[in-house]
Copies of this chain bind each other. A is one copy, B any other.
């Protein structure tokens, strides 16, 4: 693994390897050392949370970071191409973590640069480190990735997180329940892929009946910024709201995940519910990113 651009390049063994490494880092069994190395955080599209998570991961590994946030690098404003910006930064840094609103931007970077590239989100396309931290969270709470019953709720059409996660889980014999407003359903190409791989999945309207069956419920935000018309957003934003009452009959191992930020998909009262796991999930993100950086930079 020289780059991490897409979950499509991460096979079942890679997933289990990264989870194993993350676990060892978290429990202090290994201490990958990034000291003396510089990671450039190139966030052409700002994302405070993902930025912070990567910056934390680099610093926890004793590395150092160069931070660029906002589309407005002055060189870009002066008319520089993305290729030139990347080529220049690659003279300074030892690896690049990159977020860009254009799909394929990270792939492009990985092709022209001699240093490792980690995709921190390219438009609606891929966000592989988010998928990996979700997998790590599932593994940590369930002890396995195999044979789990997983509901995905909210915006399943535009949320790249659920796409990557669904695809990554296909190697582990999951059963999926997809619940979303009508216009935000899981895209056909994902459903086709699941069908081809004989993955069990159901599109449901009412999530309540399946809740007692679930191991994992993965809720996503209906992203206002992805709607062209505000009115359309207002219609669906409250379609699925999780509260404590809905979680009364869950299994003991059940966990509620959310990539955050949430708006109101999960009521604050749920935060203290022992089945709520989204803040720990954010913490797992740092550890998994430490593992990914360690692997990419050949520290282990």
Contacts and interface: CB of A to CB of B under 8 A. Distances in A.
A64 interface: yes
A74 B48 contact: yes
Interface stretch (A123-131, A168-176, A206-214, A261-269): A261-269
Contacts of A55: 66
A238 B39 CA distance: 36
A263 B79 contact: yes
A112 to B, nearest CB: 9
A241 interface: no
A80 B38 contact: no
A181 interface: no
A38 B64 contact: no
Contacts of A225: 78
Interface string A66-108: 1110000111001111011101110111000000000000000
A200 interface: no
A3 interface: no
Interface string A131-151: 000000000000000000000
Interface string A218-229: 000101110000
Nearest to A68: B48
